[in-house]
Amino acid sequence: MTVIAMGMPAVRSGQPSMDGRPDTPFLLDRYGRIARDLRVSITEKCSLRCTYCMPEEGLPPIPVHELLSSAEIVRLVVLAVREMGIREVRFTGGEPLMRRDLEDIIGGCRAELPDTPLAMTTNGIGLEHRARKLAAAGLGRINVSLDTVDRDGFYRLTRRDRLDSVLAGISAAGQAGLTPIKVNAVLMRENLSGAADLLKYCLEANAELRFIEEMPLDADHEWARANMITAADLLEVLGARFTLTEAGREDPSDPAERWHVDGGPATVGIIASVTRKFCSDCDRTRLTADGRLRSCLFSDQEYDIRAALRSGASDDDIAALWRGAMWNKSAGHGIDAAGFTPPERSMGAIGG
Ligand code: SAM
Ligand code: SF4
């Protein structure tokens, strides 16, 4: 195993250690977890600059030749599903709608994988004009990120005045059948007081709202545990306007704890990534836009799958690299531990 000195994160080339790994095609790790959910980041570019994610100037551009092509993405996705037991694929970024060939990527995956759920996480800007084409290409569902329905609050959090476009995108996605729509909102001081209004909007739009505790993945490295808004803070605010009763998780690997709103059937979810860590149930594996494999959001170990692809690696070689990367996945993130250091890449550069 060679570690290439490129600064952090440490990019590894060569086959990771498989010591003690049973002979299984699945993406198993040393703690018995199996990755079934593949997150594919397809770009670092974005139409927003959310304070908890991106630097004001955006991420440094990835040179075109370093970005995985649509054909390379399709090859990796198909291989992961056919040979490694991946059951669900989600495209993310950066902002996936910034890629003009998004429909080709989805269409290419759908042609080879007629039964695999293909989903996308998006900020919704421009979705209004592409929702139908994406559905026709084979996209099944979307999660739209929307932190507030207050226009000034939206601007403060995203540094852009684009709330109307996001709302139009959600509406178009519903009409195109990209359902059920989930809305993701990061819990911040700026949107806490508007949380009940956001929930009301989602109930009316027939979208399932999920709040996410802010993780230390902002490019500006300003996250501080002491300033964090927690799931408990949110429950207090929502409880003042709605009656919430525990509804459990959709399935054990779903990080969202759900609550019925005013007796249901509508629910609101809370992903307490920091205060109620769920690493022991994690079933994710990640591919970055520049072709690195990551086993965890918080690990700085990356594996260079792009180099393998471009040096003529066979499907078996790529699968072995992927299995080795996942075998070496760490047990958990340790955000709450003393001495925790955030990963070098921010959320937008990994793919959330
Ligand atoms: N641009 C798309 C979007 O915003 O949905 C996809 C990429 S974005 C990185 C994916 C998800 O990560 C979004 O739901 C976003 O809210 C979430 N996210 C970004 N930074 C985060 C942070 N520091 N903590 C928790 N969630 C974060
Ligand atoms: Fe862009 Fe999504 Fe990050 Fe916001 S959260 S800056 S929309 S990548």
Q: What's residue 7's pLDDT?
A: 37
Identify which has the larger pLDDT, 281 or 352: 281
**What is the distance between the alpha carbons of residues 118 and 114, in angstroms, rounded to a whole number?**
10
- Per the CB < 8 A criterion, the answer to whether 137 and 103 are in contact is yes
Assigned token pair, 155: 């601007």
Is 22 among the domain residues? Answer: yes
Ligand 2 pocket member 107 (CB < 6 A): no
Is 163 among the domain residues? Answer: yes
Ligand 2 pocket member 49 (CB < 6 A): yes
Nearest ligand to the C-alpha atom of residue 57:
2
Domain that holds residue 60: 2-181+280-350
**What is the distance between the alpha carbons of residues 255 and 277, in angstroms, rounded to a whole number?**
9
**What is the distance between the alpha carbons of residues 245 and 219, in angstroms, rounded to a whole number?**
36
Ligand 2 pocket member 309 (CB < 6 A): no
CATH for 58 = 3.20.20.70
**Chain position carrying tokens 């694929």:** 89
Q: Residue 303 belongs to what H/E stretch? A: strand 301-304
Task: Give the pLDDT band (50/70/90) at residue 5.
Answer: very low
**What is the distance between the alpha carbons of residues 209 and 207, in angstroms, rounded to a whole number?**
6
Query: Is 301's pLDDT higher than 90?
Result: no
**What is the distance between the alpha carbons of residues 177 and 141, in angstroms, rounded to a whole number?**
8
**Centroid of ligand 2 to alpha carbon of 148 (angstroms):** 14
**What is the distance between the alpha carbons of residues 59 and 217, in angstroms, rounded to a whole number?**
13
Task: Estimate the crossing angle of helix 70-84 against helix 102-112, to 10 degrees.
Answer: 30
Is 333 among the domain residues? Answer: yes
Is 229 among the domain residues? Answer: no
**What is the distance between the alpha carbons of residues 124 and 169, in angstroms, rounded to a whole number?**
5
Is 177 among the domain residues? Answer: yes
Is 13 among the domain residues? Answer: yes
Assigned token pair, 315: 């499907």
Angle ∠(188,190,193) on CA atoms, nearest 5: 95
Residue 319 C-alpha from the chain's centroid: 22
**What is the distance between the alpha carbons of residues 326 and 323, in angstroms, rounded to a whole number?**
5
Task: Give the pLDDT band (50/70/90) at residue 298.
Answer: confident
Share of the chain above pLDDT 90, in %: 77
Ligand 2 pocket member 53 (CB < 6 A): yes
**Centroid of ligand 1 to alpha carbon of 3 (angstroms):** 29
Is 221 among the domain residues? Answer: no
Ligand 2 pocket member 126 (CB < 6 A): no
Q: What's residue 3's pLDDT?
A: 41
Residue to probe by mutation, ligand 1, list 170, 183, 186, 294, most atoms within 8 Å of CB: 186
Q: Residue 122 belongs to what H/E stretch? A: strand 118-122
Express each pLDDT in 64-76 by its tens digit: 999 999 999 999 9
Assigned token pair, 103: 């429909």
**Burial of 11 by CB count in 10 Å (0-12 exposed, 13-18 middle, 19+ buried)?**
buried
Ligand 1 pocket (Cβ < 6 Å) reads 46, 52-53, 92-93, 95, 121-123, 145, 184, 186, 212, 214-215, 217-218, 347-348, 352
Structural domains of the chain, count: 1
Q: Write down the pTM of the prediction.
A: 0.94
Residue to probe by mutation, ligand 2, list 43, 48, 165, 187, most atoms within 8 Å of CB: 48
Express each pLDDT in 148-189 by its tens digit: 999 999 999 999 999 999 999 999 999 999 999 999 999 999
Query: Is 142's pLDDT higher than 50?
Result: yes
Is 129 among the domain residues? Answer: yes
Whether the ω angle into residue 9 lies within 30 degrees of 0, i.e. cis, is yes
Share of the chain above pLDDT 70, in %: 97
Q: What's residue 14's pLDDT?
A: 77
